[in-house]
Amino acid sequence: MSMETAAVVLDQVSKRYGNGSHGVPALSAVTLRVWPAEFVAIMGPSGCGKSTLLNLIAGIDTPSSGRVSVAGHELSALSDDARSDLRLRAVGFVFQSFNLLPTFTAEENVALPLEFMGLRRRETRTRTADALARVGIPTQAQRRRPAELSGGEQQRVAIARALVAQPRLLLADEPTGNLDSHAGEGVLNLLQTLNAAEGLTVVLVTHSLTAAAYAQRIVQMRDGRIEEERRQQHDAAREPAPPDCPVADGCDPVTRTAMQSALVPSGNGQMRHHEP
C-alpha cells in the first residue's frame, strides 16, 4: 500500500516549542501511518507528546520539521482556510472536556458544523437527528442542554457533533477521562462499533490500558518518540456484541441502540507498521 493511500501519514515529524536553549522538544522524528478503517490507540505518560501528535494530525498545530498528510493532503501545502475546511469536512475531533456550548441544546450543538458548511435547514435537521441516533441519544434528550445530561450522554453528543459532517477520520483525545468506568466503557464500545461497522478510522489518545485495549494497534510513546508498536487480537468478550443482543447477554439498551443505528448505511527506535 502506498503512502498516499494511508488515512494519516507522519514522516519524520518533530515539534519544538520555544527557541534556542529555552526551547522544549515535544516530538522528535516521529514516523507513523494510520490506515483507512483502522483503530489506533496512542499511549504514553503525561508529557510524552501524544496530544501534540493529535493536534498536528488535526492541523491545529504545525510541525517544526517533517511532513503531515491527512486524507492524501499534505497539511503544510494548504492555506489556513483550506486546512480549516479539511478539518471541518474530513476530520472529527472529540475532547476530554466535551466542549459543548452550554446554552445550546444537544441537537443545536450537533448541528453547528453543518451550519458552518452552509447546509439547508431540512438537511441539517435530518443529519443531526441521524447522528444523535447513531450514538444512542434518545429523542427526549436531544432538546436538553448539556447541564441536563449525564457525562456519558454529553460525550455521546460530542461524538455525534464530530460525526455529523460524515468524516472518515475521528480523533479522540482522552474521551473517557471525565467519565466514570461505566460511561467510559459505553463510549469506547461506541467508538469500536463505529470503526467495525462503518469503517471509521479512529485515532485515540489515552493513558489508560483499558481504553487502549479496544484498539487494533497500540502505539506507545515516551519522551516525544515512538517507543513501540504492537497489534492486538480481540477476543469475543471484547468485540462489540451483535445489535440484537439481549440486555442479559451484557449489552445495555443505550449501547444496543447505538450499534443498531451504526449498522445503517448512511526513526529512531521506531517499529514500522507494514501493510497486512
State how far the Cα of 165 lies from the Cα of 130, in Å rounded to an integer. 11
Cα separation of 151 and 235, whole Å?
A: 29
37 vs 247, which has greater pLDDT? 37
Q: What is the pLDDT of residues 75-134, one digit of tens each?
A: 999 999 999 999 989 999 999 899 999 999 999 999 999 998 999 999 999 999 999 999
pLDDT value for 210: 93
- Between CA 114 and CA 171 the distance in angstroms is 19
Report domain 35-54+79-262's class.
alpha beta
Distance CA 154, CA 273 (A): 35
Tens of pLDDT, residues 157-180: 999 999 999 999 999 999 999 899
How many angstroms separate the CA atoms of 16 and 23, rounded?
6
Does residue 49 surpass a pLDDT of 60?
yes
**What radius of gyration do the chain's Cα atoms show?**
19
**pLDDT score recorded for residue 109:** 97
Confidence of residue 217 (pLDDT cuts 50, 70, 90): very high
Phi then psi for residue 44, to 5 deg, are: 155, 165
Q: How far apart are CA 126 and CA 134, in angstroms?
A: 12
Asked whether 65 and 142 are in contact (CB, 8 A), the reply is: no
What pLDDT was estimated at residue 18? 87
Select from 45, 10, 50 the least CA-distant residue to 173.
Answer: 50
Lowest-pLDDT choice from 37-51, 135-149, 234-248: 234-248
SS3 258: helix
Distance CA 244, CA 268 (A): 47
First to last CA, the chain: 9
> Do 191 and 109 meet the contact criterion of CB atoms below 8 Å apart?
no
Q: What is the pLDDT of residue 23?
A: 84
Q: Say whether pLDDT at 152 is over 90.
A: yes
Residue type, 177: G
Would you say 148 and 102 are in contact if contact means Cβ atoms under 8 Å apart? no
**Statement: residue 231 has pLDDT above 90:** yes
Model pLDDT, residue 235: 53
Domain ranges of the chain: 35-54+79-262
Reported as type and span, the H/E element at residue 50 is: helix 50-58
Cα distance between residue 110 and residue 96, in whole Å: 17
Cell of 40: 489506533
Predicted TM-score (pTM) above 0.85 = no
pLDDT at 264 over 70: no
- pLDDT score for 21: 73
